[in-house]
Amino acid sequence: MVFGGIISSPRGSLSAQQSLEMANAYLENATNATDPDITLVYCHDIEVSLSQAKKGTNHDVPAAREGIAAAYIDLGRLLQSRGRNREAQASFKKAEKLG
């Protein structure tokens, strides 16, 4: 997909670390967003990026698991603060599974 002169690439080409960095950038934007619909779009993007990070990471590396788990916790807190308790609990469970 092309936006102006920028070509959007699929997330599949990103490393696990890059996917985690994208998730954290989306998280920051979602936290600062004032429009609830935009916040939910960012939350979806966070979830997709974290899923990609989980697929690409070596689960034997504690730092990788911890980084992804921390992002899931932050996502859960954000969702909870926006009244999305069911989604927040799902995010917290994903963090718990990562240890």
| E strands, the chain, in order | 2-3, 6-7
For residues 5-13, average pLDDT: 56
Instruction: Give the pLDDT of residue 64.
Output: 86
What are the phi and psi torsion angles at 6 (to 5°)? -100, 130
Q: Which residues pair with 6 in a beta bridge?
A: 3
Classify the phi-psi angles of 4: left when phi > 0, otherwise alpha if psi is within -120 to 50, otherwise beta: left
24-71 residue pLDDT tens: 999 999 999 999 999 999 999 999 999 999 988 776 678 888 999 999
